[in-house]
Chain A
Amino acid sequence: EAQVTQNPRYLITVTGKKLTVTCSQNMNHEYMSWYRQDPGLGLRQIYYSMNVEVTDKGDVPEGYKVSRKEKRNFPLILESPSPNQTSLYFCASSLFGENIQYFGAGTRLSVL
């Protein structure tokens, strides 16, 4: 089944404790991105990647890091999480030349 898989689905952590949210897609998509979704603010892009080893900042990159060492994986790293990073996070992928986004099920993160 074609899908984007995020893990974990739920995460509660404390300020400053490094964490990684994994994202994997099995559709051989070149393009992947991370979003956060907050009430009243909608979906905002954090980082995106157009292919292996090619990443760039989205609208709200501060406090986040990403890497794209393999085509299928695009982890999101929070080196020192803060409470303002409490949010619902989505990973998405799409084919190059087609811009239909396929989203993961989401990761709900709470930073205490």
Chain B
Amino acid sequence: SQKIEQNSEALNIQEGKTATLTCNYTNYSPAYLQWYRQDPGRGPVFLLLIRENEKEKRKERLKVTFDTTLKQSLFHITASQPADSATYLCAPGSGWAGNNRKLIWGLGTSLAVNP
């Protein structure tokens, strides 16, 4: 069955450093992959989407890579700030219409940025 794995252990880093979060998938060939941020008790918020034909995508301090050979996506936050502390969810998807729209959600990685 399809499986999405994210770093299960919380990631603690110092303010100003780069945080790197990993998302691995198996038994799956997604057409795209999304990253969301979730604060405790709140709904996930969309951050970035990267398609299978894109190697890298950037938005301000965020960068996402997508390696379909390794079946892996990396999510980077550069110059991290305490306000970046949250859980980050990886969600690959296989299509854009009908039931193919369904995202497969990872469990998330908790990031803590220490001042």
Q: Which residues of A contact B (CB under 8 A)?
A: 4, 31, 40-45, 48, 50, 56, 58, 88, 90, 92, 94, 96-106, 108
Contacts and interface: CB of A to CB of B under 8 A. Distances in A.
Interface in B1-57: 32, 34, 36, 41-46, 49
A106 B44 CA distance: 10
Contacts of A99: 32, 34, 49, 93, 96, 101, 103
Given A48-B102, A90-B43, A99-B34, 14 more contacts: A31-B101, A40-B107, A42-B106, A42-B108, A45-B102, A56-B99, A90-B44, A94-B101, A97-B96, A101-B34, A101-B36, A101-B44, A103-B44, A108-B41
Interface residues of B, number: 24
Contacts, number: 54
A111 to B, nearest CB: 18
User: Lowest 10 CB-CB distances: which A-B pairs, in order?
Assistant: A103-B43, A43-B105, A42-B107, A100-B46, A42-B105, A90-B43, A99-B101, A103-B44, A106-B43, A99-B93
